Amino acid sequence: MKSLGLALLLFGTGGVFAQNKEAMVTSIVQEANANSQLEKYAFELIDMIGPRLVGSPQMQQAHDWVVKKYSALGAEARNEAYGEWRSWERGTSQVTMTYPRIKSLEGTQLAFSPMTKERGIEAEVVAMPLFGSQSDFQSWLKTVKGKIVLIGMNPISGRSDANWKESASVKGYEKYQSLKNDQLKKWEGSMSYTGSTRRTLPLALENAGAVGVIDSYWTELPGITRIFDAKSKKIPVFNVGLEDYGLLYRMAEHGIKPRVSLQGNSKELGTSKTYNSIAEIKGKEKPNEYVVLSAHLDSWDGASGATDNATGVITMMEAVRILRKVYPENKRTILVGNWGSEEQGLNGSSAFVEDHPEIAKNIQVVWNQDNGTGRIVRIGGSGFEKSYEYISRWLQYLPEDFRNEIQTSFPGMPGTGGSDHSSFVQKGIPAFGLSSTSWDYGKVTWHTNRDTYDKIVFDEVKQNAIIVAILTYLACEEPALVSRDKIVLPIDKEGKPMIWPTNLQSKRTSGN
C-alpha cells in the first residue's frame, strides 16, 4: 500500500483510476508467483529445441514453437518471412590428437564451417608465430601447406583473474598482470601484420594451402570458450578449449610435430527462408496502436543460447501469459517480436521496422530484453526527450524492492546497434533496452560453449516477467501515445552536432 499514496499524488484527480492500477499490479505479481511457466518454457526451448543458428532446421523449429505457444495463449501468431540464409546443420564434431599419443580433445566445428570428409582429415599441427612485419607473415604463409594451423593466442595461464588475485602473492599477481598485458599487446601487434582478424584469417590460410584451422577464444574462465562462425570456404575451422589447445600449442612450439584428426559432420542444406515470429493480441480500444515486446529468438550454437537470448524470449512469453489472464481487455495491441538473426546484425528486427511502416508509426513503446538472465536494473531513455516523464511515472507502480534497484538515465542516448531496440530507435520509435545484472555474462555465457539451461536464475527471470507485464499494461492504458521528441545530441570532437543514428539496415541474404 505504500506506493498507493504516491500513485494518488501523481494522478491527482484520477485517484480511482490509480487504485485500479494498483489492483492490477497486485494481480500481475500474484499470477507470476502462483503459476509461473518459465521453467517449462525454458526446458522446451533450450533443452528440447536447442541452439538456434539462423537458417538452421532448429531455428525453424523454434519459430514454429513460438507460434504454437502464443496461439495457445489466444494470440494471433505467425512466422513472417523477410529473407533467406545459408542453411547449415551442425553434426557431430570430433577432435583427436593422434601423435605423439592418442587423446580426445574438447573441440567443435565453428558454425558454418565446411564439413570434413566422412572419416575426417589428419595432419600435422603448427602454431602461428608472432610476426614482426607483413613480409614476416607472407613468408610464413608459404610454410602452412598441408598443415592444420593454430591461430589463437595461447594464454600464459588458464586460471581466472579472480583465482590469481585470491591465491597469488601480491607480487605474483602483479607480475602475472604485467606478463598478460604484454602478451596481448604483442599478439595484437602481430595480428595487425596479417591484415586479417581471427575470423577472416582462416580464408587466407585456406588460400595458402592449409588443410584445417584451430582457434581457441578463451573468456578467461577455465573451460569456457566463445564459438562463432567460420569464414573459410573449403577447409574446416574448429574451436578447441584452452586446456587442450595449450597442449597442442606447446608441443608444436617444442618441435614435437603433433598430429590431429578433425572430423566434422555438418550438413549444407542449401538456403532457407528467414523469419520473425510475431504474436499479436489485438487492442480492444485502440487496435491500431502497439506496445511491442521484443526479444531475439536466434542464437550462436556453441551451446544452447540459454541466456542469449532464450531468457528474453521466455520473459516476454510469461509476461503475455500473465497479462492474458489478468488483463484480457488490453486497450492497445500487444505485439511480441521474436526476431530471427539478431546475431548477424539485428536483421530480423530491422526488417520488421522496414516492412511495417503502418505499425511503426503507431508504436507506443518497445521493451527489449537481451543481456542475460539477471534482474532488470538499468533503463535508459534512448535519447527521447520526454522518456523521463512517462517511464519514471510507470516505474512507480513496480513492487518497491524491484523499483529501488532500477537505475534510470534520462534522456540517455540513442542506441547504435547493441540489440534490437536500436532498430526501432533509429526510426525515431521510443524503444528501450531493459538491462540486467551481469551474472558474469561476458565471461560465462555470452556466445560461449556454456550458455546452457543451468545458468538461468529463474527467480530473476520471474522478476523481469513481472516488470515487463506491468510496464506493458501501463503503456497500453496510457491515455495518448507518448512523445517521440528527440534530444538535441551533443557536439562531437570536431565541434559538429552529432546525428541521430540511422545506419542500420536489414541484411536479407547470407551472400553465400
Question: What is the binding site for Zn ion (CB under 5 A)?
Answer: 308-309, 370
For 221, residues 6+ apart whose C-beta sits below 8 A from its C-beta are 160, 440, 443, 444
**What is the Cα–Cα distance from 30 to 26, expressed in whole angstroms?**
6
Q: Amino acid identity, residue 468?
A: V
Least Cβ distance, residue 311 to Zn ion (angstroms): 10
Q: How many CA atoms lie within 13 A of 81 on its CB side?
A: 7
Q: Judged by CB, which is closer to Zn ion: 301, or 308? A: 308
Q: Which residues pair with 108 in a beta bridge?
A: 239
Work out how close the CB of 442 gets to Zn ion at its nearest, in angstroms, rounded to a whole number. Answer: 12
**Beta carbons of 339 and 366 less than 8 angstroms apart:** no
> 79 to each of 206, 274, 340, how far by Cα in Å?
38, 9, 10
Strand partners for 293: 336, 367
DSSP state of 229: B
CB of 342 to Zn ion, least distance (A): 6
Least Å from the CB of residue 169 to Zn ion: 40
Q: Which is nearer to Zn ion, 263 or 349 (CB)?
A: 349
Can you count the helices (H) and strands (E) in the chain?
17, 16
Choose between 242 and 504: whose C-beta lies nearer to Zn ion: 504
- Residue with Cβ nearer Zn ion (271 or 344): 344
> Smaller CB distance to Zn ion: residue 206 or 451?
451
215 vs 308, beta carbon nearer Zn ion? 308
Of 266 and 369, the one with the shorter C-beta distance to Zn ion is 369
Angle in degrees, CA 251, 254, 257, rounded to 5 = 55
Q: How far is the CB of 206 from Zn ion (least distance, A)?
A: 30
Supply the minimum distance, in Å, between the C-beta of residue 451 and Zn ion.
10
Nearest distance from C-beta of residue 506 to Zn ion, angstroms: 17
CA–CA distance, 410 with 383 (Å, rounded to integer)? 7
Residue 481, CA distances (Å) to 279, 430, 485 in order: 21, 10, 12
CA-based max dimension of the chain:
83
Percentage helix, strand, coil, to 5, in the chain? 40, 20, 40
Count CB atoms within 10 A of the CB of residue 417. Answer: 15
* Cβ closest to Zn ion, residue 247 vs residue 377: 377
Judged by beta carbon, residue 112 or residue 339, the one nearer Zn ion is 339
Spatial CB neighbours of 212, under 8 Å, sequence gap ≥ 6? 116, 121, 123, 148, 149, 235, 236, 237, 238, 260, 262
**Do residues 457 and 439 make contact, with C-beta atoms less than 8 angstroms apart?**
yes
> Least distance to Zn ion from the beta carbon of 298, Å?
8
**Which residue, 225 or 309, has its beta carbon nearer to Zn ion?**
309
- Could you tell me the smallest distance in angstroms from the CB atom of residue 469 to Zn ion? 21
- Phi, psi of 298, rounded to the nearest 5 degrees: -75, 165
* In the complex, least distance from residue 284 CB atom to Zn ion, rounded to whole angstroms: 33
